[in-house]
Amino acid sequence: MTIPHGSAAPAAWLAGATGLVGREIDRLWAGPGPLVRLTRRPLPARAGRVDVQVPDFLAAAAFAALPPAETAFCALGTTRAAAGSDTAFRAVDLDAVLAFARAARAAGVRRFALVSALGADAASSNLCLRTKGEAEAALEALGFETLVVARPSLLLGERDGLGQLPRPGEALAQRLSRPLVGLIPARWRPVAAADVAAALLRAMAAPSPGLQRLESAALQPARTVSR
């Protein structure tokens, strides 16, 4: 791991750079400072990027060698089907998220951004929404100066090349929603991963103290937020 020569600004950490939203954060990142990409598999080298392979986000030493940072983005996530069990799903969407957040807080990160989900609620009977809600609540308790939580609806984007298992349910929902997108209220309308990433980057570039939740309607491009 090498910090780019001449980089004076603090780094930003990104967990989940190989996912749909994480890939877009990586693509759109323009500094200041280098972007430290924490991934389980190698990524193509890019200027202004520092790559750290983390085979196990729950390992005690996983974050020991990371450079100082003021900002961190967490785009970790999976599905129950891909994980194979409730426990394995929660290990990613809750345990790994919290391990990354705690490491960031211990390293002096002041601003933290999380990709959550529409309807996240720690009291929900739905496994995904309950787990996302529990993660949000746990992050609030860590005491970041700024915590930005994005709660997108169905994510749109090209999943080819992400190395993910097929998601037939999501693919069907995308196809069915396209001709009806103008009729779907903004708060439920599918949202492009690139728009989620852009909204998070804007929020972190001009942070407000405390918790800021970006509901799905607020993640839509300005031209579509009319309902």
Over 2-71, what HEC string results?
CCCCCCCCCEEEEECCCCHHHHHHHHHCCCCCCEEEEECCCCCCCCCEEEEECCCCCCCCCCCCCCCEEE
Per-residue model confidence as pLDDT tens for the chain (227 residues): 444 444 567 899 999 999 999 999 999 999 889 999 998 888 999 999 999 988 889 987 888 878 889 999 999 999 999 999 999 999 999 999 999 999 999 999 999 999 999 999 999 999 999 999 999 999 999 999 999 999 999 999 886 655 555 555 555 545 545 555 565 676 768 999 999 999 999 999 988 899 999 999 999 885 443 33
Beta bridge partners of 11: 69
Contact partners, residue 105, CB within 8 Å, separation at least 6: 112, 142, 143, 144
- 11-217: CATH class: alpha beta
Predicted TM-score (pTM) of this structure: 0.85
